[in-house]
Amino acid sequence: MGYVITIDTDKCTGDGECVDVCPVEVYELQDGKAVAINEDECLGCESCIEVCESDAIVIEEN
């Protein structure tokens, strides 16, 4: 079982909070937007959701 990460690029401000908080380095910024480059590593801790001020991140179990 893993997690599917969806980032609303219209909402993402590129502040990089998710990049900094994620313990397994799922995110990086590309052209000023967060991209989940290591989605397979996601632990489902939801720390990135908590720090995202624009509510741009949705994480679902699959």
Q: Does 29 bind ligand SF4 (CB under 6 A)?
A: no
Tell me the closest approach of the beta carbon of residue 6 to ligand SF4, in angstroms.
Answer: 11
Q: Does 21 bind ligand SF4 (CB under 6 A)?
A: yes
Phi, psi of 29 (to 5 degrees): -90, 130
Q: Does 56 bind ligand SF4 (CB under 6 A)?
A: no
CA dihedral for 17, 9, 45, 26, sign (positive or negative): negative
CA dihedral for 22, 17, 56, 34, sign (positive or negative): negative
Interface positions with ligand SF4 (CB under 6 A):
5, 21-24, 26, 42-48, 59
